[in-house]
Each structure stands twice: as C-alpha cells, then as structure tokens.
Structure 1
Amino acid sequence: MAEIDWKEARRYLGLHRPGGTIDEQLEESLHSCGTELEATARPRAVWRRFPAAVEDGTVTCAGMVIPSAYLARHLKNCGEVYLFAATLGAETDRLLRRSAVTQVSRAVILQACAASLLEAYCDECCDGLAREVAPEGLFLRPRFSPGYGDFPIDFQRPLLEALEASKRIGLTATETMMLTPTKSVTAVVGLSPTPWCPPTGCAACGKTDCAFRKG
C-alpha cells in the first residue's frame, strides 16, 4: 500500500519554506496523525482504457466531447487514454469530520496527510499502468483532472459514469461536482508513443506566489 510522503505533507501544511525550523511537537503530531490516517484509509481505484481523438482544442473519448485547449495540448499525439479515479474511502471522510469537531488543529494536519497519501496512491496506480503499457511501446502522460486549467469540472460526473465508479469504488459527485468521498480524484491519463518531457505540476504553473508551490 502507498505511504504518506512526509515531505509533501509538510508542504501542504506550509512547512516547506527554506530556512524554516523544525518544531518537534508538530513533527510528533504529524506522524501521529499520519499513522492514524494510514490505519483508517481504504484506498481504491478504477480505470478504463478508451480511444481518444484530439483536435482543435477538443478531446473526444468515452462518449465525451471535452472543449479544453489545455487538455488537448496535454494529450497531443495520444490516440488512447485511461480514465482514472481513486479514493481514500468514506472512513477517511468520517475521521476528518470527527477531528474537525473535536480538535481543529489535528484536523488540519490530517487533511495534509490525506492529500499526500492520496497523491502517493495515485502515483502507485499509474506506475503500475505505465509498466503494463511499456511492452506496447507506450508511455503515460501525467494525470489531468476536471477543474484544472480550462478542463470543465462539469465533466466530473460523465467521467465517473464511464468508469462505473459509484458501483465499483463508491465514488460519486454532488450537484456542484464535488467528489464524495472528498479525498478522491478523477483524471484523464494519456497514452503516447513518445515519453513525456514538458514540465509538470509547479514547474508548469505561472502562479509563483502559491503557498503550496514546490521549491
């Protein structure tokens, strides 16, 4: 099972700034929360492979016609995609809600640990997919989620429906397209005949004053 990346958890808490001092009590709380979260989380994921057509700022796959220049550029030269969804489960949500009522400071740390664990689990799943398609001479593009850039968040629900995510991993979306359980993610993952070289994540983002920026 994936494990919490403590460096990432600290970053989510805003503790990644150069020259910062280490608070031993906070470190103890971080690891205590992380241990509790890892014992509670029930990570599950689902994915399906679909043909994809990319042209003129539009991506067509799994019956969806997605108007997104960012996504189309991200999937350039990809003839197929994986639709992907993952969740830490309802138990994690219940833990976060209880902590928000009983101890707010602990709830904040748990949120950071959950974000790190979810990312690590998604990376683990995608690493496995990359190994599966490698014999076909294919490479995975980084995950690209609804709501990022100009990828309309309204595609959250049709993506979940294409994956039968409600039935398979208990993941749904509200009327406002928020995922339930909340510690979940959906994404499109391109399959390309060439390795991915362009910068990703913080390196590709122009928001240099972001509190969660790496480096």
Structure 2
Amino acid sequence: MQADKREILRYLGYRGKPADEKVLALMESCLSELGRVACPRSTWAWFDAAVAEQQVSFAGFTIESKKLASHLHGCDRVIVFAATLGLEVDRLMARYERLDMSRAVVMQASAAALVEAYCNECCEYLAQEAAKQGYFLRPRFSPGYADFSIQYQRALLHLLDTAKKIGLSMTESCMLVPVKSVTAVIGLTREQGPCEQHKCSVCEKKDCPFREE
C-alpha cells in the first residue's frame, strides 16, 4: 500500500509548484508513522442492478442521482464497496491537532492519499475477479460526489453491515467513522472502454481547491 506522494502534495496545495525539503521530509515522516498504526480493512458485495436515466436500483432500493446513472450507463451489476484505515489513524491525527498543527495538516493529507491507495489496491483485485466473469470495472463513485447525496451513506453501510465487519459506522450527519474511510458504488459492464467521466468532471463545485483538470 503505497500512497501517491504527488496526491499528498496536491492536497497540500502544491499544484505544479515544488515543495521544499522540509515539507518533503515531514511527508515521509507522516507516511512512516501512518504505516505503523493503519489497520486497513474492506468489505464489498455484488448485486444485479438496473440503471435508468436518473436513478440506479439494486438490492431492493433506488438511488436518485443523474450523475451516478450516467456514470453507470451500460452496467448491469454493481459492487457496493467500503474501506477504512481504522480508528488508530483517527487517534493519531487528533493527537497532532492538539500538539502540532503543521504536522497534523500533512498527516491529514497523507492519510487521505493512503486510503485512496488502499482502495485502488482493492479495486485491482476486484477487477481481476470481475474479468473472470467477463466484466470490466468502472471507477468508484462515492456518496457526496456530484448529485449522489451523502444521505445514501447510511443505506450502503447497512447493506454491507460495515459496523460488524470492518468497524465502520457514521455520525448523524452521515460522516464516516473512522474518518479516513470510503464507501462507493462500482459499476460492472461487459463493454471495455474509457470511463464515463473523471470524478472531478462530474462535480459542480468548480472552485474546489482540490479539483483536477
């Protein structure tokens, strides 16, 4: 599980700008510390799906989202996916928020890149399993992207029983606990080809500091 250091620097605001040696050393130190405490866990389930113009249905419920439906166009199955780095990562970040805010900021960015790297590893495995059945994967699409309401987080967690399986729950405001966690819907299609859209291109928040062109 190797975090993309370019992503960490992007999260820190270094878009096309070199970081100084102090920042790079701090990033390496944070990654090393995260590696000692992270306990990555994941779970998923496969479902038949029906994709309409503005909704996606599977496992007995329907998600109203035009962007998700567009992203899953041509898919007849989905994988509901969840992953977390564990509570010790949260505790580590909270500790540095009290003791050293500069390190806390880099720790947050490093943990975000680390959970993405873990999710990518999981999806590489899922892609291999899907290929055995003649399917290709679409990229992850998570609650909170575009018009895929974060309120659907609750249904995905319940569907996967994440609290029991990987210790992943959520707050009343639908924020994941542990914080460095991901839920997503992954499309399965028989047709190989380019993905529908990059996750930033489907988001209407044009002024996001983390937006990728």
TM-score between both structures, scaled by the size of structure 2 = 0.94
Encode CA deviations 1:53-110: one digit per residue, 9 max, x unaligned. Answer: 1113111112221111111111111111000000010000000000100001100000
Measure, in 1, the Cα distance between the counterparts of 2:117 and 2:66.
28
* 172, 177, 182: which one aligns with 1:180: 177
Deviation at 1:174, TM superposition (A): 1.1
Alignment check: 8 A CA contact 2:71 2:197 kept: no
Structure 2: segments with no counterpart, 5+ residues: none
Q: What one-letter code is carried by the residue in structure 2 that aligns with 1:137?
A: G
Checking the alignment, whether the CA contact within 8 Å between 2:65 and 2:147 is kept in structure 1 is: yes
Structure 1 residue 199 displacement after superposition: 3.4
Q: Per-residue deviation at 1:203? A: 5.0
Is 1:214 the counterpart of 2:205? The answer is no
What letter corresponds to residue 13 of structure 1 in structure 2? Answer: L
Aligned residues: 212
1:7 correspondence with 2:6: yes
Alignment of 1:1-215 (within 5 A): 2-17=1-16, 20-197=17-194, 198-202=196-200, 209-214=207-212
Q: 1:80 corresponds to which letter in structure 2?
A: R
- Sort the Cα spacing of 1:58 and 1:104 in 2 relative to 1 into closer, same or farther, 3 A: same
Judged with a 3 Å threshold, the aligned counterparts in structure 2 of structure 1 residues 56 and 209 are, in CA distance, closer, same or farther, namely closer
**Counterpart Cα distance in 1 of 2:73 and 2:200:** 20
CA root-mean-square deviation: 1.5
Alpha-carbon contact 2:53-2:70 (below 8 Å) kept = no
**C-alpha separation in 2, matches of 1:209 and 1:130:** 33
Counterpart of 2:199, as a letter, is: G
SS at match of 1:114: helix
Q: For residues 57 and 30 of structure 1, what CA distance do their matches in structure 2 show?
A: 42
Q: Quote how far apart the aligned CAs of 1:201 are.
A: 3.0
* 1:146 alignment partner AA: P
The percentage of aligned residue pairs carrying the same residue is: 50
Q: 1:5 to 1:166 in 2, by over 3 A?
A: same
Whole-Å separation in 1 of the counterparts to 2:179 and 2:186 = 21
Relative to the length of structure 1, the TM-score reads 0.93
2:111 and 2:180 in contact (8 A); partners too:
yes
Alpha-carbon separation, structure 1, partners of 2:202 and 2:169: 30
- State how far apart, in whole Å, the 2-side matches of 1:153 and 1:69 are: 14
Question: 2:21 is matched by which residue type in structure 1?
Answer: E
Instruction: Give the whole-Å Cα distance in 1 for the aligned partners of 2:202 and 2:154.
Output: 27
Query: Secondary structure at 2:75's aligned position in 1?
Result: coil
SS in 2 for 1:79: strand
SS at match of 2:108: helix
